[in-house]
Amino acid sequence: MSRNAESTAFRSALEVIRAVEPRVADAIGAELTDQRESLKLIASENYASPATLLAMGNWFSDKYAEGTVGRRFYAGCQNVDTVEALAAEHARELFGAAHAYVQPHSGIDANLVAFWAILADRVESPALRKAQVRQVNDLTEADWFALRRELGNQRMLGMSLDAGGHLTHGFRPNISGKMFDQRSYGTDPETGLIDYDRVAEAAREFKPLILVGGYSAYPRKVNFRILREIADSVGATFMVDMAHFAGLVAGKVFTGDFDPVPHAHIVTTTTHKSLRGPRGGMVLCQPELADQVDRGCPMVLGGPLPHVMAAKAVALAEARRPEFADYAQRIVDNSQALAEGLLRRGAKLVTGGTDNHLVLIDVSGYGLTGRQAEQALLDSGIVTNRNSVPQDPNGAWYTSGIRIGTPALTTRGLGTAEMDQTAELIHTVLTQTTAGANADGTPSKAKYTLDADLADKISRQAADLLAPHPLYPAVDLT
């Protein structure tokens, strides 16, 4: 696509929107400006290509398509069949998977499809049928306990939230924590690394139905061969949530024992993050689970989003190109350079470094909570997110950590030299931020002090760092 074509496409789209609701058009334009000017280090965010973005804004949005390819509950789905089949084909080829289901709207939806696919053959539950006619929010803990018993007292063993797991891996407020009798495995308190012997011990004691691998904030590789052996030893289904690192698997940075697809019974992922596609989810599985997975709609999902499946097909096609493998390797190179730059400046990192796309800073060494650090960095033009660290004394809201990642900046073309400069900016902000106090004089976990002039200076330096690497350079909205 030529530079002129991209500019014309997006400019024309905004003109059409502006004629109906100019405030929405203004917000869209402002979002592009903000993303262009911010040093985006949120590990779960990226920049989709113009082709991927444009694939979402079309007439597929108007189409209902419950069912699967060739088996729809609505007529006139032949074009939806085409894009869904293409997306699934690209996913199978890209990841070497036996089966791909591309309908999930998000990573959480993909996980729910996987959970229910695993449970589907277990039992026709009277308690489940009763629950379906009641509001889920009205169910008591006793109701959920009874429901789990009807389903065979199902058990899940997954990584704990503070060790880097995700809330959908059995965290109690999430639906996964209500569906399953859940137990978590953590990390070694000294190294912050997964202790596979302890995972095996927990599995032998707990005997889970599902062993979940994968993470949201664990900065190291995971040995999926060992986890599969643990799952097999207790008769568990091995499920991997690779939402964060799918791009590293697609780009063949993670191979062998560190590629989950050959080892897991079922794999879930988002299609954005390091995979650099549209916001959405996907399930890959072995043949024996394919029929159940394909019942995700109506089992868990509402109607598929054909326009997003079209964008998934485009993004997955892009990920099959040779240059994507180079991009994936540069993500890790940049992440390691960023970690090394922070360590040289005295920052404390969980596990002491990284093997993947993310770095987890323990900001307690700066005398701050994660919430204070997150906001101070945002004031300075650096977008991050607070995150728990292992055995976090501040809990999941205030936290003691900041999670940063390199997929987005790598998409913009920044390299290892810029990562060292980024480490300097982060370290400067954190060392110059002081924790505040509440009105009664007690220490605050949210309030902080940062000199406004310094914040402005760092913002300008961040903008200078980004200037040689414009975002969507072919898109001119003026």
Which residues sit opposite 282 in a β-bridge?
269
Q: Give the rounded distance of the alpha carbon of 180 from its chain centre.
A: 22
Least Cα distance to 267 among 100, 69, 410 occurs for 100
> Could you confirm whether 218 is annotated as catalytic?
no
Q: Give me the DSSP letters along 241-276.
A: E-TTTHHHHHTTSS-GGG-STTT-SEEEEESSGGG-
Comparing C-alpha atoms, which of 313, 270, 347 is closest to residue 43?
270
Q: For residue 434, give the 3-state DSSP assignment.
A: strand
Q: Which one from 37, 45, 64, 143 is the annotated catalytic residue?
A: 64
Nearest to 241 by CA among 255, 251, 253, 227: 227
Q: Could you say which of 66, 89, 229, 424 is catalytic?
A: 66
Dihedral of CA atoms 260, 261, 266, 268 in degrees, nearest 10, equals: 70
Active site residue 418: no
64 assigned to active site: yes
What CA–CA distances, in Å, run from 383 to 37, 202, 301? Answer: 10, 37, 32
* Identified catalytic residue from 237, 269, 270, 354: 270
Q: What is the DSSP secondary structure assignment for residue 352, as one 8-state letter?
A: G
Dist CA 120 CA 126 (whole Å): 14
Alpha helices in 152-239 (DSSP H): 175-179, 196-206, 224-233
3-state secondary structure of 347: coil
Q: Which of 72, 148, 228, 273 is catalytic?
A: 273
**Whole-angstrom distance, CA of residue 21 vs CA of residue 10:** 16
| Integer Cα distance of 292 and 97 in angstroms | 16
Residue 241 annotated as catalytic? yes
In sequence order, what are the residues at sequence separation of 6 or more whose Cβ sits closer than 8 angstroms to the Cβ of residue 419?
Answer: 334, 335, 337, 338, 341, 406, 409
Q: Of residues 241, 294, 355, 392, which has the active-site annotation? A: 241
Catalytic residue among 36, 183, 221, 279: 279
Active-site residues: which are they? Answer: 64, 66, 241, 270, 273, 279
